[in-house]
Amino acid sequence: MNPVRHLIFVLGDQLTLTLSSLEGADPDRDLILMCEVMEEATYVPHHKLKIALIFSAMRHFAEELRGKGFKVHYTKLDDPQNSGSFSGELLRATAAALPERIVATEASEWRVLQSMQGWQSSLTQPVEIRVDTRFICSKAEFRDWADNRRSLTMEYFYRDMRRKTGLLMQGEEPEGGRWNFDADNRKPAKPDLFRPKHGVVRPDSITLEVLDLVERVFAGNMGSTKNFVFAVTRADAESAARAFIRDFLPNFGETQDAMLKDEPFLNHAMLSFYINIGLLDPLAVCQAAERAYLQGHAPLNGVEGFIRQIIGWREYIRGIYWLKMPGYQHSNVFAAHRPLAGFFWDGDTAMACLSTAITQTITHAYAHHIHRLMVIGNFSMLAGLDPHAVHEWYLSVYADAFEWVELPNVVGMSQFADGGFMASKPYAASGAYIDRMSDYCQDCRYDVSKKTGEDACPLNALYWDFLDRNAEHLSKNHRLAQIYASWHRMDDGKKRSYRDSAARFLQKLDAGEYV
Ligand code: FAD
Ligand code: DLZ
Ligand code: SF4
């Protein structure tokens, strides 16, 4: 074999042919390294479907690279030689191949990037860590944007990204005369037998081998590999994106905030996993959505909403992560320390909204945005659950969960644990919101119309108790002024009954009783 010029280390969420570390790669002189390692597979107890997706997509990417003539050194998890860590595998491959240089694209997560930055100290060859160019806004560009303003409102960042990409722009003006059509996107949904179904991909022999490995090695983790339906190749992920644009984008906007117990996916894209691991290019997906609008196939409210999620929220979240790490993971402005209830792991609760959202999570390693934010996240914040424990749960259970995108969404957006660095007010809601947006309350053992007492929806008392408990941090927030005014207008008896109801519920939760 020729001497190896570059040893190119590709991580499990870097499955992109145009990855910066592969730029200028030469099949004749370079060797690509990919490895499944216990360190990554166990730093939180990942859902079985998440591990299976990543391993299978990695193995398929290795095949794609080999198809292009590259040599790939691929370590499977159960390889007896496997050292169990990225650094260990790098040292092992370097000792065997003696490359002139190590090349990698920066890891998407702080924890792994830290370790990457330590590689040079144990190697004599130069280690070159390249910038990840798969985002629309670079880390430096975001930092500049943030440096120049007092408040980091996503909406203004998003407008800059619209200008930068030219998506839905008419010269300097936004298409349709408005930047944001969210006001048209907050409708409840009705069950619809004719709603198209999201596609499923039948596991091939590579995936079947991975599913078997995951069931053997991670038997105690959440979920079952029987429910594996993910795309694991670029071609299948691209076909899932086309199917979304054809079948779901036309109704995406309207039902974006809706929840139905028998429809876990509604008109959501189900594309975050593929975008996050690099099988889909976020900008290309947005351009395809824009084309659907220009061709009259999908309305502006939905297409704008979809594009905003990707070039707005997704990019903004990443910017915040790199601005605030490493301290961000310990944010806990409300000093909330309650551990997660057992039902987070089995969905066994009488609260129909939580039971549905968590059961769907266990089945699919997926829950749509409103389940994550307004059901599970809302409950966690109102009940005073420890935000770090909540963060680790989200990081474990969703197939699209990588810390850079999960942490700000959980700690900042859903738990307000950063004290409002990201969100201008907490996403707190009583049962009335869930009743308006879902069909859950009609089947719940609790009564959403009752405010306090044993049968009342627990969220009703928890909501006021949360605001009361955290008044020190929230009562000066002008967006909450009216809500606090209502609280202050309540007579003492009513306030006491909210506090007592919340305390009784939390006592039961702490005692591990069925709630
Ligand atoms: P759709 O609802 O159809 O949205 C389209 C696309 O927009 C998504 O595929 C995704 O790429 C992007 N997007 C939408 N909202 C966000 C957002 N807030 N942040 C970043 N990208 C967004 N997303 C993750 O990718 N990984 C996570 O670990 C994750 N954790 C979350 C935790 C909480 C508490 C909350 C509130 C949100 C979280 N999100 C996360 C964002 C969002 O819920 C998911 O991206 C979305 O549910 C994925 O499903 P979908 O592809 O059907 O998305
Ligand atoms: C999430 C994950 C898991 C479970 N396992 C691996 C793995 O064995 N090998 C790998 O390269 N990547 C894995 N990943 C994804 C990584 O966690 C992700 O690429 C980095 O953490 C990004 O910083
Ligand atoms: Fe959830 Fe309350 Fe409705 Fe039950 S009544 S489903 S707990 S919001």
Block means of pLDDT (10 residues each) for the chain, 515 residues, are 90 98 98 98 98 98 98 98 98 97 98 97 97 98 92 94 98 96 84 86 97 98 98 98 97 91 94 98 98 97 97 98 97 98 98 98 98 98 98 98 98 97 95 97 97 97 98 96 97 97 98 97
Ligand 2 center from residue 14 Cα (angstroms): 9
* DSSP H helical ranges for 125-219: 139-147, 154-165, 205-217
Tokens representing residue 471 in the block: 């008044």
Q: Assess whether the C-beta atom of 54 lies below 6 angstroms from ligand 2.
A: yes
- Closest residue to atom 8 of ligand 2, CA basis: 36
The reported pLDDT for the residue numbered 183 is 83
Ligand 3 mutation target, pool 343, 430, 446, 501, most atoms within 8 A of CB: 446
Q: DSSP character for 288?
A: H
Spacing, Cα 425 to ligand 2 middle (Å): 33
- Structure tokens, 428: 């707190």
Pairing assessment for the beta strands 169-170 and 173-174 based on DSSP bridges: antiparallel
Structure tokens at 327: 């301290």
CA–CA separation, 515 vs 511, rounded Å?
10
Position 44: which residue type? V
Ligand 1 binding site (Cβ under 6 Å of any ligand atom): 268-272, 275-276, 306, 309-310, 313-314, 317, 368-369, 372-373, 377, 394, 398, 400-401, 405-406, 409-410, 413-414
Ligand 2 neighbour 213 (Cβ under 6 A) = no
Distance 221 CA to ligand 2 centre (A): 17
Single pTM value for the model: 0.98
269's tokens: 């894209």
Q: What is the pLDDT of residue 1?
A: 58
Provide the angle, in degrees to the nearest 10, between the axes of the packed helices 282-294 and 234-243: 30
Strand pairing partners for 128? 103
Nearest CA to ligand 1 atom 18: 313
Instruction: Determine the Cα–Cα distance for residues 261 and 387; give it in Å rounded to an integer.
Output: 27
Determine whether the shortest distance from the Cβ of 387 to ligand 3 is under 6 A: no
- CB neighbour class for 240 (10 Å; exposed up to 12, middle 13-18, buried from 19): buried
Nearest to 11 by CA among 136, 135, 142, 130: 130
Instruction: Select from 373, 400, 413, 414 the residue to mutate for testing ligand 1; criterion: most ligand atoms less than 8 Å from CB.
Output: 400
Q: Whose CA is nearest to atom 1 of ligand 3?
A: 353
441 close to ligand 3 (CB < 6 Angstrom): yes
CB 98 within 8 A of CB 2: no
CA distance readout (Å), 177 to 174, 180, 233? 5, 9, 39
Distance 369 CA to ligand 1 centre (A): 6
